[in-house]
Amino acid sequence: MSTELNLGPLLFHWPVEQKRDFYFRIADEAEVDTVYLGEVVCGKRAPFFEDQYAEVTKRLTDGGKKVVLSTLSEVMIDKDRQLVSRMVETKGALIEANDASALWHLEGRAHRIGPYVNVYNEKSMAWLAGKGAEHFCLNPELPKSAVLELAQQAQTLGVGVEVQVFGRISLALSARCYHARAHDRVKDNCQFVCEESPDGMELDTVDGDAFLAVNGIQTLSHPYVNLMQEMPEMAQAGVSAFRLSPHDCDMVKVCRLFGGVSSGRLSPDEGIHGLQEAGIAASFCNGFSHGVDGYRWVANS
């Protein structure tokens, strides 16, 4: 069975026109099987794009893509709960749950589990599968050894397993908005300053070294995870889907390169070389997969 290539939810706050045009291009040109839509990071951003979902979903579906709606990852206030409720009640939609509040709505109904729900072992996976979960996107900090064990369990349970193979890694969520605070604003009056950072606001150490990136309440890795080297082994072990996290770069080319590696048309080395020529400003990392510091790059021996 071939491994799917999926595009995860857009984590950043882009202008509506840019976001819509991005998804239209993905629909028409990108080599992906499934596209995840939804505001995952900040409920305040959701109203900007909610009225675009129907048109974007139709364009993606017409382009041969499956669409999954992803719920908010941190539910703080009543408006956040209402946002989750509206999304899970979307008629005919397949939902990816990123918070326990969504799981409450979805029990007994086929759904997916996103990377913001901690699934670190076989018992957690089995319990959630018993509640209706049919597909799991694993936490990006899991080492490859754990991913392979969970992929084996997934095959036993008859569910899918997805692994993020490209993009900045979500490391933490906070009740505070880092973006607002960095610009001397409070969360309730942030004026959506995060829109000024299309790939997150980069942070340096006091010595000037690249360190992390901030996306509203979310802390991200500075380097982009790139698991092209690890994809063949994971696919052979039963990982059923690879996830690309969208960034402000040529994502159609990124999809084509990862699709080439996934299908065997390109070697991992050829794919990595192609990514290096794609103009991505940040470096690449795969340390978590190898059980070392996440920001590190471990080359094939």
| pLDDT number for residue 200 | 94
pLDDT tier, 301 (very low <50, low <70, confident <90, very high otherwise): low
Note down the domain range covering 81.
4-168+224-274
Q: Summarize pLDDT for 55-86 with one digit per residue, the tens.
A: 999 999 999 999 999 999 999 999 999 999 99
8 A C-beta contact, residue 130 and residue 158: no
Decide if 89 is inside a domain.
yes
Establish if 46 belongs to a structural domain. yes
Which residues are CB-neighbours of 242 under 8 A, at least 6 positions away?
3, 4, 5, 6, 162, 163, 164, 165, 227, 231, 234, 258, 262
> pLDDT class for 279, splitting at 50, 70, 90?
confident
Contact 138, 114 (CB under 8 A): no
Residue 165 phi, psi (nearest 5)? -120, -5
CATH number for the domain harbouring residue 17: 3.20.20.70
Write out pLDDT tens, residues 6-17: 999 999 999 999
- The reported pTM is 0.95
Residue 180's pLDDT is 87
User: Does a structural domain hold residue 74?
Assistant: yes
Residue 1 reports pLDDT greater than 70: no
Mean pLDDT of 25-51: 95
Whole-number percent of the chain with pLDDT over 70: 99
Within-domain flag for 289 = no
Is the CB of residue 175 less than 8 Å from the CB of residue 76? Answer: yes
Rg over alpha carbons for the chain, rounded to the nearest Å, is: 18
Please write the tens of the pLDDT for every residue from 147-180. Answer: 999 999 999 999 999 999 999 999 999 988 988 8
- When pLDDT is cut at 50, 70 and 90, the band that residue 183 belongs to is confident
Report pLDDT for 190: 85
Residue 173 lies in a domain: no
Average pLDDT over every residue of 268-283: 88
pLDDT at position 192 is: 86
pLDDT of 178:
87
The count of domains in the chain is: 1
Q: Is residue 189 part of a domain?
A: no
Are 291 and 145 in contact by the 8 Å Cβ rule? The answer is yes
- Two tokens, residue 15: 């202008």
CA 103 to chain centre: 18
Q: What is the mean pLDDT of residues 135-139?
A: 97
Average pLDDT, the chain: 94
pLDDT at 102: 94
pLDDT, greater one: 33 or 277: 33
Residue-level pLDDT at 251: 96
Is pLDDT above 70 for 256? yes
Tokens representing residue 39 in the block: 């505001």
Residue 152, domain member (yes or no): yes
Q: Which helix (DSSP H) or strand (DSSP E) does residue 222 occupy?
A: strand 218-226
Note the pLDDT of residue 135.
Answer: 98
Tens digits of residue pLDDT in 85-128: 999 998 889 999 999 999 999 999 999 999 999 999 999 999 99
243: in domain = yes
